[in-house]
Structure 1
Amino acid sequence: MIRILVVDDDFNVSHIHSEYVSRVEGFEVVGEAASVAEAVQAVRAHHPDLLLLDIFLPDGTGLDVLRQLIQDQGDARPDAFVITADHDISTVRAAMKLGAVGYLVKPFSSADLAERLNAYRELHHRMDTLGLVSGTVATDQADVDALFSAVRPPAIPRVPVKGHSAPTLTAIHQALRTAGSALSATEAAELTGVSRATAQRYLTYLEKEGIARLELRYGATGRPEHRYRIAR
């Protein structure tokens, strides 16, 4: 089990996040903390693997927690997902510099958190497989790239000014990500409730941006069918 400490100054929000964690296989909440001081003490007491760390705390910030843990524990400190309503770029940059492995902006759904946690679990699995936990170094570039990208979900491209809408783009993107196989424009349209022509336009855009990959399925006669899947 991957052990998680939830840090949030709002008692109710902390419980909600703990409930979200409980729905994801392979994770358990070992404690909750509501301040910088409580978080540092709880890390020392419970030795979590991962923090769900709010930025705004009554006696400082989540960044202060990270700084204190770096000072106290160095490389032995737990990883952290920074969770906050603040999406100012300077805060994101500071969290990255302090070693945060993920960033979630409130409000988010249990599915959003589950996606990050499952990716984090995959990261641990890859590290075990490659022997990095015992100190060996991965020698393959693909392995290194996979480790660095494990907790970062596929990006959604910036929506063009004309001809596309963010909700539709997100819906098509989500349909591709959750599909068990490559989708045709007709199938994507049925899943998202848009017309086939609209689905085709968004699929083409995602393929152009490198988010989707085009596959050609050849039948007995006629033109090949265009099908799309998330690019890996």
Structure 2
Amino acid sequence: MTEASIATLIVDDDFRVASVHEGFVEKLPGFHVVGKAHTAADALEMAQRLRPDLVLMDIYLPDGDGLDVARVILDSPAPPVVLVISAATDIDAVRTAIQLGVVHYLVKPFGFRALAERLTAVRSARAAIADWPEDAGQSDVDQLFEMLRLPPAETPASDIEHLAPTLQLVYKSMSARGSGLSASEIAGQVGISRATAQRYLAQLEQIGAVKLELRYGQTGRPEHRYSITRH
């Protein structure tokens, strides 16, 4: 099963910052921006009208608190994923975000890579949910939560030999098979589940060892294909 592009709503009081974030999001395969809101009222209205899959939520808004907006959005039917982007680092804000079920909390200012790592994790988890097995067990649940974790910052992107053994196995299998491989194909080659392959591919993508390509078929829904970026 393939996933459609992730519709993203950006909420930030600063028009320029919102445009920068839009540029970041649009650079990533599998995401597209459906709207930008600059007030709490606009965020609530656009979230209800546009039904985004993902909301990048600022906290300091001219007419309200972004976390209050997030609370309303997350309590709605079929709520989106919410990722906080804010300069706020006080424990009350962070604790509230966790309690609300925010998947990541990114402190401003940040660069493209920091946001890309978190969005890649969200995209991988979303793909795993779309392919959720009927006989799911604890390992499937663990792998889903693991997908939302970021790779260790000290992992050397240029040295594959320093990676964990299974990551090396996935990478070497891709090197032997060529480019444009799906998670299912890699899983079959390595002898692991598709969800596990998806998680490892997300980690390899986050450190720049593989790249994701979207291929569109007759249905218009993109198929995720992965290729080696360095040897």
Verify same fold: TM over 0.5.
Answer: yes
Partner residue of 1:181? 160
Q: CA deviation at 1:45?
A: 1.4
Query: Do structure 1's residue 37 and structure 2's residue 41 form an aligned pair?
Result: yes
| Matching of residues 45-194 of structure 1 within 5 Å | 45-71=49-75, 73-74=76-77, 76-131=78-133, 136=134, 138-139=136-137, 141-155=138-152, 173-175=154-156, 178-179=157-158, 181-183=160-162
Aligned-partner SS, 2:101 = coil
The C-alpha deviation readout for 1:94-127, integer Å capped at 9, x for no partner, is 0111111111001111111111111111101111
The alignment-based identity, stated in percent, is: 42
Structure 1 counterpart of 2:66, one-letter code: G
| Matching of residues 216-231 of structure 1 within 5 Å | none
Contact 1:102 1:152 in 2 (8 A): no
Q: CA deviation at 1:213?
A: 5.1
Query: Do structure 1's residue 4 and structure 2's residue 8 form an aligned pair?
Result: yes
Q: Structure 1 unaligned runs (5+)?
A: 156-169, 184-211, 216-229
Structure 1 counterpart of 2:136, one-letter code: A
Contact 2:82 2:102 in 1 (8 A): yes
Name the CA distance, whole Å, in 2 between partners of 1:116 and 1:25.
Answer: 13
Structure 2 counterpart of 1:108, one-letter code: F
Name the CA distance, whole Å, in 2 between partners of 1:121 and 1:108.
Answer: 20
Aligned alpha-carbon RMSD (Å): 2.1
Aligned-partner SS, 1:112 = helix
The C-alpha deviation readout for 1:137-185, integer Å capped at 9, x for no partner, is 722x221112112222035xxxxxxxxxxxxxx5xx142xx236214xx
Partner residue of 2:19? 15
Contact 2:11 2:36 in 1 (8 A): yes
Q: Number of residue pairs matched?
A: 163
Contact 1:8 1:35 in 2 (8 A): yes
Name the CA distance, whole Å, in 1 between partners of 2:74 and 2:149.
Answer: 23
Name the CA distance, whole Å, in 1 between partners of 2:51 and 2:74.
Answer: 14
Name the CA distance, whole Å, in 1 between partners of 2:102 and 2:95.
Answer: 10
Q: Structure 2 unaligned runs (5+)?
A: 167-202, 204-231
Name the CA distance, whole Å, in 2 between partners of 1:18 and 1:107.
Answer: 15
Q: Structure 1: which 4+ aligned runs deviate by more than 6 Å?
A: none
Contact 1:54 1:62 in 2 (8 A): yes
Q: CA deviation at 1:89?
A: 2.2
Larger radius of gyration: 1
TM-score by length of 2: 0.65
TM-score by length of 1: 0.65
Name the CA distance, whole Å, in 1 between partners of 2:14 and 2:113.
Answer: 21
Aligned-partner SS, 1:6 = strand
Structure 1 counterpart of 2:160, one-letter code: S
Partner residue of 2:225? none
The C-alpha deviation readout for 1:44-95, integer Å capped at 9, x for no partner, is 1111000010011111111111122244x14x11110001011222211101
Structure 2 counterpart of 1:125, one-letter code: A
